[in-house]
Structure 1
Amino acid sequence: MSIENVGFTLEEATISSVHEAMKRGELTCRQLVEMYIKRIEAYDKKGPSLNSVIMINPKALEIADELDKKFKESGFTGTLHGIPVLLKDNVDTGDMPTTAGSLSLEGVVPEDDAFITKKLKEAGAVIIAKANLHEFAVWGETVSSILGQTINPYDLTRTPGGSSGGTGAGIAANFGIIGIGTDTINSVRSPSSACSLVGLRPTVGLVSRDGIVPYSMTQDTAGPIMRTVEDAARVLDVIAGYDPADPQTAWSIGHIPETYTAFLNKDGLKGKRIGVLKSAFGTKDIHQEVNEVINNSLEEMKKNGATLVPIEENIDTDKLVKEVSVHLYDLKAHLNVYLQDLGSRAEVNSLADVIASGKYHEGIEENIKFAETLDIGTPEYNERLIKRAQLRDQVMRIMAEHNLDAIVYPHQKRPVVKVGQPQAERNGVIGSVTGFPSCVVPAGFTKPTDTAPIGVPVGLEILCREWDEGRLIEIAYGFEQATHFRKAPVSVPCLEG
């Protein structure tokens, strides 16, 4: 059935546009899933060959048929009824392999679903595919031994950011509606910035990490990578909450509103005091295009009622990655717990086993071998934890002194890098080291070039206080509705029929 015949447009579809079409009887879950699979087949390994999908769910159509049957009997099964999800392949699925992008875990099917996978399914969502990631989520270019390099749909010579770049490229290319990523330093927000998407990193403890291949439980969280702020809020409603299997989520009790959609206020910028972190902007020629895009976004914020406050205090994000973040110190201890639990299902039960197997991409070798020499509880590790607490206090003091609702800055000081280059000058570490919530929203594009016909996307990052997701969503939504900067990539056009 053609998209035109059902009076429904697949490209840039939202949860509400799908549900409206279903209510009108113009769309079934099966038709929707078929359309997305058709797009994945046309563009992921063929055409621009984005290489974002590790595996399409072999039971996706069967699940869709079951949802259609239930819909006929009693209407929607949940708030995400029939909505296709691209799930980063470090999130457990009890009915499909979860590889973390590594050949060392090829074919390994976990015992059961991750907490967030269960929550999505209970809300009626369909896991349509597992998406590529930078192997074990350890860096930001989205290259893995299981699948190779994922490509940015806006510029086929560039990376899609990472580590959740398969999810980012796939959602940008309209391979699904809900994207789920994980974020230890930049990994939900980096692909969102690079692919003109909304990426929300929640407060650590709002979303359970149970069943997610860990990198650093001190900093790990999971969050939505979406085309709209509204859809990000709808997904957060489903995946947030207490899970006994992740004790950190106990801190979320009392901090979760009835619904995050209550904060979808078109005038969300009005009356807000927003700090502009000047040290997060680059000063060289390579930074100029991003600075122009972000400065234009700041003008839009002012036009829509926000008061901008320059923050002169220096926060050196590169230094935070090198000297404060504990990601590599946590990796061995935290990953080993997950790998040990796999038992006989996997050939590797520790990071040392992964290294000994040789079944990983050479690009992560230096990091994982270094991580094997590090550990939690050492004097250097504890010193980093002290610096982390100091950064939390510093950010809170800046917000208190200037009476701020949020702080903003470019997510990445320069356009996302070309394939083959290491990711550089990302600012997401502020949110991940503090554990505070932050959200990247589309801020516009660099100038068009031969390889980037509409330019390379640039993301604006908004940081709020701990548990202040409601205000974060309000500011992000107000900005999105005032600007509508999101554009679909031209490399993956509408399919006929």
Structure 2
Amino acid sequence: MRRLLSLALLLTLAACGSPPAPSSESTDAPPAAAAGPDVEEMDVARAKAGMDSGELTSEALTRAYLARIDAIDRAGPTLRAVIETNPAALDEARALDAERAAGKLRGPLHGIPVLLKDNIDAVGMANSAGSLALANNQPAEDAFLVARLRAAGAVILGKTNLSEWANFRSTRSSSGWSSRGGQTRNPYVLDRNPCGSSAGTGSAIAASLATVGVGTETDGSIICPSAVNGLVGLKPTVGVVSRDGIIPISISQDTAGPMGRTVADVAALMNALAGIDEADPASHAAAGNLPPDYAAGLDAGALAGKRLGVLRQAMGYHPGVDANVEASIEALRAAGAEVVDVRIDTLGQWGADELQVLLYEFKDGLNAYLAGREGVPGSLEALIAWNEANAAEAMPWFGQELFLQAQAKGGLDSPEYLQARDRIRRLAGEDGLLKALDGERLDAIIAPATSPAWPTDWINGDHFTGAGYGTAAVAGTPSLTVPSGEVQGLPIGLVFMGRPYSEPELLAMGHAFEQATKARKPPRYLPTLAP
């Protein structure tokens, strides 16, 4: 479900394989899609206004995105970001147009096409986690969040590729690769990696293959692909968005979240995603903590009077990233914020324990998800055997070391698991992020989201140099990345980390930063970087 990358271990837990090598064709712009509305960089507000005025329909919008997927994702630059389109998408759009004509509007997302990461159950499409072993996994019911999207009027456009098994199969893997979908490419520079595990959502939304998209995260899998693909990405407090119907890694850290080209789009999508689900044990704590509108506080002046702490412990791995953080600090101060240095004394001390927790929880959660599913391996043990029997297709570049480690673990009543789970939450939360926020009277902590995108490498795997998001991931608290600039044409982001259920405040500050800097640039689809 996500990119696992702690500052202590810089763990690279991805999944890779071998589609055809990237083309050397040079293109500064994608090929034109079929005639229809121009959806490039179209945001929720503009799409809604067009449909409200009658100048645009959901069917025309959906058809334009499908044509753009054909022109850019499956031809042209060949991003391989969309693993499957919804065969009923146009029918859904027509039905929503008919509702609009009859005076029934479900909300701001009525008729808006949305892409889902391919580890989220949605009726009518496979849910595979990118694995050929689950290519026939046809869910009988929508995930809780998908049901909420449909109720809000969204058109489910399709599913996006991801790092196979959400980057939790091997310790030496390439983000954005799956045996079912091949290698997703970064639309800014095609031979660069889109990060993961929400690689397809990041690449697709950057390339305007849908208005907005849904990713999932355990540790960095929304924040990292959002940052390196020039997007806004929100990892909510664990439990704010239901995990029902999502192929799991960690009951402690998993969450879905919105990804978009603007903070306003992310806030609009968050309104549909957030909701109390009685079937999700973490959801109960969120009751009473969900605002009526995540977009209500978006104001260009929202940074005035805010006190932010910059986590310099998460810097120092790239001079271009450091220079961008310094420029971002000046922009924040110019917008009225006070910015001070802050330390997290426990930073990275949870790394080894975090992996142990995830191994235990992955085995337990995956076995529960697979049990009773038809036409797929019914357990982690059976999945390991399937991969071995189909190694040429499933494991052409790397193995399943993490699967084997997880299979060797006991149950969630193990003292090793219980002690490690409690220890990492305390080190990252109570003694880490929350202690720093409270001790320095901060509204949020800021840090560079991650390094610029690295060249995709199926032999050696990912090449991370650093990241700043891991504390919030392990603590289960929210984080938001906003585009902050580029390094040699490669997008980077600034991450805002806050207290539990502080998503509205983070979105407000992120929106003000976005309006002050206007740092995001559309992708250019360059084949490679040149001096």
The normalised TM-score by structure 1 is 0.92
Contact 1:280 1:315 in 2 (8 A): no
| CA offset digits 1:12-56 (Å, max 9, x no partner) | 111110111112221111111111111110111211111111111
* C-alpha distance 211-17 of structure 1, shift in aligned 2 (>3 A): same
- What does residue range 37-186 of structure 1 map to in structure 2 within 5 Å? 37-138=66-167, 141-186=175-220
| CA offset digits 1:118-174 (Å, max 9, x no partner) | 000111101111000111112571111111110000111111010000000000000
* 5+ residue gaps, structure 1: 448-454, 493-497
- What does residue range 416-495 of structure 1 map to in structure 2 within 5 Å? 416-420=453-457, 421-424=461-464, 425-447=466-488, 455-491=489-525
RMSD of aligned residue pairs (Cα, Å):
1.9
2:276 is aligned with 1:242: yes
Deviates more, 1:393-402 or 1:70-79: 70-79
Looking at structure 2, the residues matched to 4 and 182 of structure 1 have their Cα atoms a distance apart, in angstroms, of 31
2:441 is aligned with 1:411: no
Looking at structure 2, the residues matched to 364 and 137 of structure 1 have their Cα atoms a distance apart, in angstroms, of 15
Aligned to 2:351: 321
Deviates more, 1:21-30 or 1:85-94: 21-30
2:384 is aligned with 1:355: yes
Deviates more, 1:150-159 or 1:76-85: 76-85
User: 2:371 aligns to what SS in structure 1?
Assistant: helix
User: 2:482 aligns to what SS in structure 1?
Assistant: strand
Looking at structure 1, the residues matched to 443 and 308 of structure 2 have their Cα atoms a distance apart, in angstroms, of 6
The normalised TM-score by structure 2 is 0.86
Looking at structure 1, the residues matched to 414 and 34 of structure 2 have their Cα atoms a distance apart, in angstroms, of 61
Looking at structure 2, the residues matched to 199 and 330 of structure 1 have their Cα atoms a distance apart, in angstroms, of 25
Contact 2:136 2:376 in 1 (8 A): no
Contact 1:201 1:437 in 2 (8 A): yes
Looking at structure 2, the residues matched to 4 and 99 of structure 1 have their Cα atoms a distance apart, in angstroms, of 30
* C-alpha distance 441-298 of structure 1, shift in aligned 2 (>3 A): same
- What does residue range 273-422 of structure 1 map to in structure 2 within 5 Å? 273-283=307-317, 287-317=318-348, 320-325=350-355, 326-342=357-373, 345-358=374-387, 359=390, 360-361=394-395, 362-363=397-398, 365-375=400-410, 376-385=412-421, 386-394=423-431, 395-412=433-450, 414-420=451-457, 421-422=461-462
Question: Which of structures 1 and 2 has the larger relative contact order (alpha carbons within 8 angstroms, sep 6+)?
Answer: 2
Aligned to 2:234: 200
Aligned to 1:495: none
Q: What is the total number of aligned residue pairs between the two structures?
A: 476
Quote the offset at 1:364 in angstroms: 5.4
* C-alpha distance 313-66 of structure 1, shift in aligned 2 (>3 A): closer
Looking at structure 2, the residues matched to 399 and 138 of structure 1 have their Cα atoms a distance apart, in angstroms, of 30
Aligned to 1:258: 292
Runs of at least 4 residues of structure 1 off by over 6 A?
2-6
Instruction: Indicate the percent of aligned positions where both proteins have the same amino acid.
Output: 39
Aligned to 2:20: none
Looking at structure 1, the residues matched to 136 and 354 of structure 2 have their Cα atoms a distance apart, in angstroms, of 36
User: 1:26 aligns to what SS in structure 2?
Assistant: coil
| CA offset digits 1:184-209 (Å, max 9, x no partner) | 01111111011010110000011100
Contact 2:34 2:64 in 1 (8 A): no
The one-letter code matched in structure 1 to 2:138 is V
Contact 1:67 1:77 in 2 (8 A): no
Contact 2:482 2:494 in 1 (8 A): yes
* C-alpha distance 475-205 of structure 1, shift in aligned 2 (>3 A): same
Looking at structure 2, the residues matched to 94 and 42 of structure 1 have their Cα atoms a distance apart, in angstroms, of 26
Aligned to 1:451: none
Looking at structure 1, the residues matched to 42 and 83 of structure 2 have their Cα atoms a distance apart, in angstroms, of 23
Looking at structure 1, the residues matched to 384 and 119 of structure 2 have their Cα atoms a distance apart, in angstroms, of 18
